[in-house]
Amino acid sequence: MHGSYRFNAMHFMPYVHLPENHKEFKSVWVDFPNKYYDPEKGHDLYQRYLSELVLADQLGYDAVVVNEHHNTAYSMMPTPNLIAAALIPQTKNCKICIWGTPPNFMLPNRLAEEYAVLDVLSKGRIEVAFPLGTGMEYWSNPVNPATAREKFKESLKIILQAWTEDGPTTHYGQYYTYRFLNPWPRPYQRPHPPCYIVGTGSPETIEIAAELGFGYSAVFVTQQRAVELNENLRKRAAHFGHTIRPDQTPIMSFAYVAETQERAEQEYIGHLQRFFEDFTRTTPHFLAPPGYLSVEQLKMRAAMADKLHGAFDFKTVSSSFFIAVGTPEKVANQIGEWSHQMKTGHINAVMHVADMPHWKTVKNLALFAEEVMPRLRSKSHAPMRIAAE
């Protein structure tokens, strides 16, 4: 069983005004010149994007999701906690998921403090994820990718200690020494906000989630791989004595809803294409800084990248990844199937991509909330009907 449904509206908040010559740049990450960022346009985009997430709250989404990336037009959220702080007073009911700040780029006590501040401010509406951070972030931040995983594990230990043990405590580790670990305030939720790990499927990262009993969300992996990763997480977590609940393994997905299938595709596909071709565009070198991946993972991903070469093809992309585009009925059925496959009703849906205009985002958010969510929620307590094809 997949538990009851839960719907998150996720936003990347891209800087959409790419220069005309942007295709000349192999990457819109890391070294994409920041002279192309116009703060006046950036201001308008922040206003707009925040209003979209506020609307999501009003429409009844269970959560809104923000995350962190650096040196890129892909996302204007190098500091997602600031975005979360801006959202708290403007939203009432939704959870605010910061999925999240890579602990390696902040002092662990500082991150524990910031999340606690947000949790207290929002009266316990915060959920956090701990990513290792993409390879690109390690070119943008002064942190060694070759020791990133060890440092990440130590940071997590410190943050959890700060949240679960009465302070002051001490920590003497390889990367950090705390003589008085005693952060004020403590989180509103006891012992701490729900925690997830997000990643792109490295077994080393899944092992960390399994050991801590955290949720895990695989991003930018194929459907088939996501199913395998979830199975593996459950198995490994059991090994450490944890049972992973359905709500702990959100499905990272893309959704677009319109009146007809044709119209949905016509309104959406161009933006999705630009998302994959332009906004995620980067180099293998930036994706995998030295030591960031094991040699086995590097070879596996290099082999996969060879296969993925070629022009954007909507059918291929939408059948490989969790992408639902069409009428409310089609999108609801699609999500129902994923939910069954992935054994979870926790749907984390990206509702805006690339240069999608405001009106489409609003339309998408509203149609999804009013036509898709009720269809699925009405089924959520009944046994899933397995397509008998």
Partner 1 sequence: MAKFTREVLTVDGVKTVVHTAGSGEPLVFFHGAGTVDGFDFAEPWADKFRVIVPYHPGFGESGDDPTFTDMHDYVMHYLELFDIMKLDRFNLVGLSLGGYLAAKFASEHGHRIKKLALIAPAGMLDAKHPMMDILAVPGDQVVGLLVSNFEVLKKRLPEKLDLDFIGERYRESATVARLLWEHPGDPKFMRYLHRVKNPTLILWGDEDKIIPVQQAETWRKFIPNADIKVYKGAGHLVHLEKPEAVEAVSKFMS
Binding site for partner 1 (CB under 8 A): 139, 142, 144-147, 283-285, 288-291, 293, 295-296, 298-299, 302-303
Residues sharing a CB contact under 8 Å with residue 128, sequence separation 6 or more, in sequence order: 97, 98, 99, 100, 115, 193, 194, 195, 196
Q: Which of 235, 190, 194, 245 is nearest to 211 (CA)?
A: 235
Nearer to partner 1, 29 or 99 (CB): 29
DSSP type of residue 369: I
**What per-residue string of b and e applies to 55-88 under the rule 16 or more CB within 10 Å gives b?**
bbbebebbbbbbbbbbbbbbbbbbebbebbbebb
Shortest Å distance, C-beta 295 to partner 1: 5
Q: For 74, phi and psi rounded to 5 degrees?
A: -60, -30
Angstrom distance (rounded) from CA 82 to CA 80: 5
Instruction: Return d(Cα 135, Cα 111) in angstroms, integer.
Output: 20
Chain-centre distance for alpha carbon 187? 22
Residue nearer to partner 1 on the CB measure, 49 or 138? 138
Quote the CA–CA distance of 160 and 254 in Å, as a whole number.
Answer: 32
* Residue 263 vs 299, nearer CB to partner 1: 299
Beta strand pairing call for 169-172 and 177-181:
antiparallel
Structure tokens given for 195 = 């925690």
Three-state SS for 249-285 is CCEEEEEEECCCHHHHHHHHHHHHHHHHHHHCCCCHH
Shortest Å, Cβ 91 to partner 1: 40
Find, among 163, 152, 173, 78, the residue nearest to 117 by Cα: 163
Sign of the torsion formed by the C-alpha atoms of 148, 166, 127 and 121: negative
CB of 106 to partner 1, least distance (A): 17
Least separation in angstroms between CB 208 and partner 1:
17
Taking the complex as a whole, how short is the minimal distance between the CB of residue 205 and partner 1, in angstroms?
17
Q: Which is nearer to partner 1, 147 or 266 (CB)?
A: 147
Distance of closest approach, residue 171 Cβ to partner 1, in angstroms:
20
Q: How far is the CB of 105 from partner 1 (least distance, A)?
A: 14
Rank residues 60 and 173 by Cβ distance to partner 1 and give the closer one.
Answer: 173
Rounded to whole angstroms, how far apart are CA atoms 376 and 345?
A: 9
- Looking at the Cβ atoms of 61 and 152, the one nearer to partner 1 is 152
Smaller CB separation from partner 1, 157 or 285: 285
Upper half-sphere CA count for residue 7 (Cβ side, 13 Å): 26
Least Å from the CB of residue 286 to partner 1? 9
Nearer to partner 1, 175 or 276 (CB): 175
Question: Smallest distance, Å, CB 204 to partner 1?
Answer: 13
Q: 323 - beta bridge partners?
A: 254
User: Between residues 30 and 229, which has the closer beta carbon with respect to partner 1?
Assistant: 30
